[in-house]
Amino acid sequence: MSEVRNTPITVAMLGCGTVGGQVARLLHEQADDLTARIGRPIRLTGIAVRRPHRHPEIDPELLTTDAEALVDSGVDLIVEVIGGIEPARSLLLRALKSGTSVVTANKALLAEHGPELHAAADSSGADLYFEAAVAGAIPLLRPLRESLAGDRISRVMGIVNGTTNYVLSAMDASGSGYAETLDEAGRLGYAEADPTADVDGFDAAAKAAILASSAFHTRVRAEDVHREGISGLSAADVAAAQLLGRTVKLLAICERVVDQSGAESVSVRVHPAMIPRAHPLASVGGAFNAVFVEAEAAGQLMFYGQGAGGAQTASAVLGDVVAVARNRVAGGYGPRESAYARLPVRPMGETPTRYHVSLDVADRTGVLSQVALVFAEHDVSIAIVRQEGRSDEASLVLVTHTASDAALRSTVDKLAGLPAVREVVSVMRVEGEEA
Ligand SMILES: NC(=O)c1ccc[n+]([C@@H]2O[C@H](COP(=O)([O-])OP(=O)(O)OC[C@H]3O[C@@H](n4cnc5c(N)ncnc54)[C@H](O)[C@@H]3O)[C@@H](O)[C@H]2O)c1
Ligand SMILES: N[C@@H](CCO)C(=O)O
Ligand code: NA
């Protein structure tokens, strides 16, 4: 072997928690295979941590508390698995501007500061890879950015947060309590450091922003994503879904919308939705993720696998490390940001959706027609009505056809004010079936 082929590709890692610990293990255990696949050895030269004594499994010579010095140490590649915005943002900008490539699992950072990071990478010719940031182990961003680069994507919809899917699956299967299953998801290493990022939909919204940006060649930031989490969901919502043969999932939905004049926009949203039990997403349980992609020529594609967990996420990180290392060996670089389409993001109120509404109403003549009139006044067409009487009270379930989200929201507000409506038991969007 020539001297060049023996010169290692050097890697420094920032953070060594759930994901970082597994990246360090795999880099060590698979060193020979990685060398063969890349064509040069790969060497981990340092790991920045906050408390070195907490990492007895790592060679102490590798550990440092000075992340900045590690970034400046002249390595080929930085792996960032700290999470959060700062200091990750400053450290990665520093690396990229100086020509050091970056592999990161940090969706929060990419969804808020992606354009700035991409620009820094462009300025120096460094690579920026982030497969682990969306749907953990599942290859999803590379298919969108590379395999489907010749197609026109119309829709990306799926389950992209393992923690909330774990909680919803448990609530659906056994009626278990919300708090106890959330604690368990944390113990299993799925939840974010602050689990409100999971339950309030911030994590899924960041992933939706990254997916929409890649799918539609448009910059979509986390703040552009309509976001509703699962913390407001009750056992009544889950039971209401079960009554109609549906289940509740937290969905990320990115759609290309073409209006009557032919103008295009994108709708990007995260919210709980009822889907039919026969829908493929309904059987996605535990911390698994699954994402449907619809493209004009390819048709429907489905990606399924482990969306969270240390080793699973480390698999995606390692795949990116190999990709960057191969680029170094070959002398090229990976795909750059593609944001040429500049599509506007459609406000949620103008997005076409469907609602399921469950009401407790007084069981007397004329109530059903009063309720139906409110829907008609808002130009919302009803697809299903189901009524069950209980002494002087009745349970009324209505599922609408497609209407603008704003019209549906006003309908529900008006219904809540009707004297005959005793309680709005559950309101949820419906997805995954013909409107
Ligand atoms: N855990 C998962 O399943 C998963 C899946 C996909 C993506 N991610 C992403 O991977 C990243 C890491 O997640 P994690 O679950 O490993 O988190 P973690 O909290 O387990 O690990 C983060 C580590 O970084 C360390 N750290 C914090 N500030 C630091 C600093 N200034 N310098 C050095 N170290 C510092 C912390 O002490 C901790 O050990 C996050 O961006 C997360 O969103 C995690
Ligand atoms: N907290 C995230 C980790 C994976 O990104 C989840 O539960 O899906
Ligand atoms: Na992924």
pLDDT in tens, 199-226: 999 999 999 999 999 999 999 999 999 9
Mean pLDDT of all residues in 117-134 = 98
> Residue 140 CA: which ligand is closest?
3
Residue nearest to atom 12 of ligand 1 (CA): 81
* 321 & 396 share domain: no
The pLDDT assigned to 2 comes to 58
Contacts 24+ apart (CB under 8 A), 297-303: 297/150, 297/151, 297/152, 298/148, 298/151, 301/143, 303/135, 303/138, 303/139, 303/140, 303/143, 303/158
- On whether 254 is known to bind a ligand per the annotation, the reply is no
- Mark whether 41 and 83 lie in a shared domain: yes
Cis peptide preceding 115, ω within 30 of 0: no
Confidence of residue 183 (pLDDT cuts 50, 70, 90): confident
Determine the structural domain holding residue 109 and report its residue range: 2-136+311-330
Instruction: Give yes or no for residue 167 having a pLDDT over 60.
Output: yes
Q: Is position 435 within any domain?
A: no
Q: Quick one: average pLDDT of 19-38?
A: 97
d(CA 46, CA 61): 8
Question: Do residues 423 and 360 lie in contact, with contact meaning Cβ atoms separated by under 8 Å?
Answer: yes
CB 351 within 8 A of CB 267: yes
Return the structure tokens found at 221.
Answer: 């930031």
CB 229 within 8 Å of CB 199: yes
**Measured distance CA(223)–CA(212) in Å, rounded:** 13
Q: What is the dihedral of CA 76, 338, 323, 156, to 10 degrees?
A: 140
Final residue before a domain boundary, out of 330, 363, 396: 330
Q: Domain for residue 89, yes or no?
A: yes
Q: Output the pLDDT for position 232.
A: 85
Q: Are 362 and 227 contained in the same domain?
A: no
Same domain, 59 and 208: no
> Which backbone phi and psi does 418 adopt, to 5 degrees?
-70, 130
Q: Is the CB of 189 under 6 A from ligand 2?
A: no
Distances (CA, A) of 237 to 169, 294, 315, 390: 13, 29, 36, 19
Q: Are 88 and 162 members of one domain?
A: no
**103 neighbors 76 (Cβ within 8 angstroms):** no
Domain count, the chain: 3
The response to whether residue 192 sits with its C-beta less than 6 Å from ligand 2 reads yes
Q: Which CATH number covers residue 185? A: 3.30.360.10
Q: 288 and 323: one domain?
A: no
Q: Which of 86-95, 238-247, 396-405 has the lowest mean pLDDT?
A: 238-247
Whether residue 307 has its Cβ less than 6 Å from ligand 1: no
Mean pLDDT throughout 38-67? 97
Give the CATH number for residue 80. 3.40.50.720
Whole-number pLDDT of residue 435: 63
Please list, in sequence order, all residues whose beta carbon lies within 8 angstroms of the beta carbon of residue 197, skipping any fewer than 6 positions away. Answer: 108, 203
- Residue ID of nearest Cα to ligand 1 atom 28: 82
At 117 the pLDDT is 98
Percent of the chain residues topping a pLDDT of 70: 98
340 belongs to a structural domain: no
In a domain, 338, yes or no: no
Query: pTM of this prediction?
Result: 0.95
Element of type H or E holding 388:
strand 382-390
pLDDT at 252 over 90: yes
Residue 361 has pLDDT above 70, yes or no: yes
**Does the structure show a pLDDT above 60 at 376?**
yes
Distance between Cα 161 and ligand 3 center (Å): 12
- Does residue 132 form part of some domain? yes
Amino acid identity at 284: V
- 188-226 burial, b at 16+ Cβ within 10 Å, e below that, comes to bbbbbeebebbbbbbbbbbbbbbbbbbbbbbbbbbebbb
Q: Which residues surround ligand 3, an ion (CB under 5 A)?
A: 131, 135, 138, 140, 316
What is the 143 CA–ligand 1 centroid distance (Å)? 25
Residue 40 has pLDDT above 60, yes or no: yes
CA of 191 to the centre of ligand 1 (A): 11
Q: Which has the minimum average pLDDT: 7-21, 76-90, 357-371?
A: 357-371
Residues 267 and 253 sit within 8 Å (Cβ to Cβ): yes
Is pLDDT at 1 greater than 60 in this prediction? Answer: no
CA dist 389 and 127 (Å) reads 63
Q: Single out the residue in 307, 338, 357 at which a domain terminates.
A: 307
Cα–Cα distance list, 403 to 202, 212, 229, 339, 399 (Å): 26, 23, 22, 30, 11
Alpha helices in 47-102 (DSSP H): 67-71, 88-97
Classify burial at 329, counting beta carbons within 10 Å of its beta carbon; exposed 0-12, middle 13-18, buried 19 or more: middle
Distance 367 CA to ligand 2 centre (A): 45
Q: Please report whether residue 65 resides in a domain.
A: yes
Q: In this structure, which residue's CA is closest to atom 4 in ligand 2?
A: 308
Residue 207 annotated to the active site: yes
Q: Where are the alpha helices (DSSP H) in 291-404?
A: 310-330, 367-377
Residue 3 confidence (pLDDT): 62
| Residues 219-250: tens digit of each pLDDT | 999 999 999 999 888 888 888 899 889 999 99
Whether 177 has a pLDDT exceeding 80, the answer reads no
Q: How far apart are CA 187 and CA 181, in angstroms?
A: 10
Q: Where are the beta strands (DSSP E) in 245-381?
A: 246-258, 264-276, 288-295, 299-306, 352-353, 355-362
Task: Establish whether 16 is an annotated binding residue.
Answer: yes
**Does a structural domain hold residue 343?**
no
Q: Does one domain contain both 322 and 270?
A: no
Shared-domain flag, residues 151 and 77: no
Question: The domain spanning residue 381 has which CATH number?
Answer: 3.30.70.260
| Per-residue model confidence as pLDDT tens digits over 293-342 | 999 999 999 999 999 889 999 999 999 999 999 999 999 899 999 999 99
Q: What is the DSSP string of 93-137?
A: HHHHHTT-EEEE--HHHHHHHHHHHHHHHHHHT--EE-GGGTTTT
The predicted pLDDT at position 19 comes to 96
pLDDT at 98 over 60: yes
> Ligand nearest 166 Cα, by number?
2
Burial label for 115, CB within 10 Å (0-12, 13-18, 19+), is middle
| Whether residue 176 sits in one domain with residue 75 | no
Q: How far apart are CA 419 and CA 397, in angstroms?
A: 17
Quote the mean pLDDT of the chain.
Answer: 94
Tokens 């009745």 -> residue: 394
**pLDDT at residue 405 greater than cutoff 60:** yes
Find the ligand nearest to 199 CA.
2
Task: Based on the fold, state whether residues 209 and 182 are members of the same structural domain.
Answer: yes
Helix %, strand %, coil % for the chain, to 5?
40, 25, 30
Question: Which pLDDT belongs to residue 6?
Answer: 87
- Do 87 and 210 share a structural domain? no
Q: Is residue 337 part of a domain?
A: no
Same-domain status, 172 and 278:
yes
Residue 19 labeled ligand binder: yes
Between strands 77-80 and 393-400, the pairing is unpaired
Annotation-wise, does 192 bind a ligand? yes
Residue 198 has pLDDT above 60, yes or no: yes
